[in-house]
Amino acid sequence: MIRKQVNPEKRSCEKHGEYEAKNLGLFNIVWSKCPACEFAAQAAEQAEREARDAEEARIRWSNTMDATGIPERFRDRTLETYEAITPGQKKALEWATEYAHNFADVLATGRSMMFLGRPGTGKTHLGCAVAQYLISKGSTAYYSTVQRAMRRIKDTWGRHHGESEADAIKAMTAPDLLILDEIGVQFGSDTEKNLLFDLLNERYERRKPTLLLSNLAKEDVAKFLGERVMDRLREDGGRILTLEWESYRKKS
C-alpha cells in the first residue's frame, strides 16, 4: 500500500492562532496539533514528572533521616549553613569539614572526634551536618543522645522485647559513623557507664569512628567516660575541641 501524500494546510488554534498542520499518519490522515499547545503540554508533563520525582526523593530522604535518628529540627543543618564568624567558630567548622571530606581516611583508622562546649554553640549542628554530608556520599551514620542509646539497650531487658542487648549494641556499631550527643548529662549510673563503654569499645575494636558531643568541660567528660575510653578516643589522631563562645540561641 502506498502512503497517500497530503500537503500541509493552515489551521487555527483558539489559543495560539494560525499554525501549519502536517499529516503524521502513514496510511490514514492524522493532522498534527498546534505546536504551541503541544509544547505547553510537554512542559506541563515534564514539570509534573519533576515534581513527582522531587517528592519521591524527599520521602526517601525523610525515611533515611528517620533511620539515622537525626532529629527533624536538625535535618536542614549543613556544613554550609553553620555560622562561622569568630576564629573559634571557623576552627570548629574547619575540623568538621575536614572530618567529613576526608572520611575515607577517618574510616580507615577509626579516628574519633569530640566537640565540647556550652549549650547553643552549634555542636549538634556540626554533628548532624557531618552525618548528612556522609549520607549524601553513600556512607552510613547514626545520631543518638546517650540517654536514648542507653534506653534502647535497657529496653531489650524486657521479657517480651524482640531485640536483644547484643542486637541493640550491634545496631549502633554497624554505621560508619556514630554521633553520640549529650555525653554526661545527669551523670548516668554505673550500669549505664558500663553499657556506654561496651558500645564505644565495640566500635573502637572494629575501627569505627565516633563523634561525641557534650556540654561538659573536658575534665568532667573524662570523669564520666573513664580514662580507658578517653585513651581510645585519642588514638589515631582523635581530636577534642572546646567551643567557647556565646550561645547562638541567645542571638535570636
Q: What digits encode the pLDDT tens for the residues 61-120?
A: 555 556 788 888 888 889 999 988 999 999 999 999 999 999 999 999 999 999 999 888
| Residues 37 and 130 reside in one and the same domain | no
Q: Can you give the CATH number for the domain in which 158 is found? A: 3.40.50.300
| Residues 45 and 128 reside in one and the same domain | no
| Residues 216 and 119 reside in one and the same domain | yes
| Residues 27 and 90 reside in one and the same domain | no
Query: What is the domain range of residue 84?
Result: 72-251
The DSSP letter of residue 43 is H
pLDDT at residue 105, as a whole number? 95
| Residues 77 and 182 reside in one and the same domain | yes
**Helical segments of the chain, H only:** 35-68, 87-101, 103-109, 123-136, 146-155, 165-173, 190-205, 218-225, 227-234, 248-251
Q: Mean pLDDT per 10-residue run, the chain (252 residues)?
A: 71 88 80 88 90 68 67 88 91 96 94 92 93 90 90 78 79 91 78 86 92 92 87 89 75 54
Whether 67 is in a domain gets the answer no
* Residue 200 vs residues 8, 16, 85, 205, 226: alpha-carbon distances, Å: 77, 69, 33, 9, 12
Q: Of 8, 28, 62, which residue is a domain's last?
A: 62
| Residues 161 and 84 reside in one and the same domain | yes
| Residues 168 and 214 reside in one and the same domain | yes
pLDDT at residue 250, as a whole number? 57
CA 150/CA 197 separation, integer angstroms: 11
Whether 213 is in a domain gets the answer yes
| Residues 176 and 227 reside in one and the same domain | yes
| Residues 216 and 242 reside in one and the same domain | yes
**Helical segments of 82-145, H only:** 87-101, 103-109, 123-136
How many domains is the chain partitioned into structurally?
Answer: 2
What cell numbers appear for 74 in the block?
A: 536538625
Whether 11 is in a domain gets the answer no
Whether 9 is in a domain gets the answer no
Model-level pTM greater than 0.75?
no
| Residues 81 and 173 reside in one and the same domain | yes
Angle at 205 between CA 201 and CA 211, to 5 degrees: 60
| Residues 126 and 200 reside in one and the same domain | yes
The two beta strands, 177-181 and 17-21, are unpaired
- Provide the residue type at 37 as one letter: C
Range 136-141, long-range pairs (CB < 8 A, 24+ positions)? 137/103, 139/103, 139/107, 139/176, 139/177, 140/68, 140/174, 140/175, 140/176, 140/177, 141/68, 141/175, 141/176, 141/177, 141/178, 141/179
CA 201/CA 226 separation, integer angstroms: 12
| Residues 231 and 173 reside in one and the same domain | yes
What spatial distance separates the first Cα and last Cα of the chain, rounded to whole Å? Answer: 79
Whether 8 is in a domain gets the answer no
The answer to whether residues 184 and 221 touch, using CB atoms and an 8 Å cutoff, is: yes
pLDDT at residue 92, as a whole number? 94
Whether 2 is in a domain gets the answer no
> Count of H helices and E strands in the chain?
10, 7
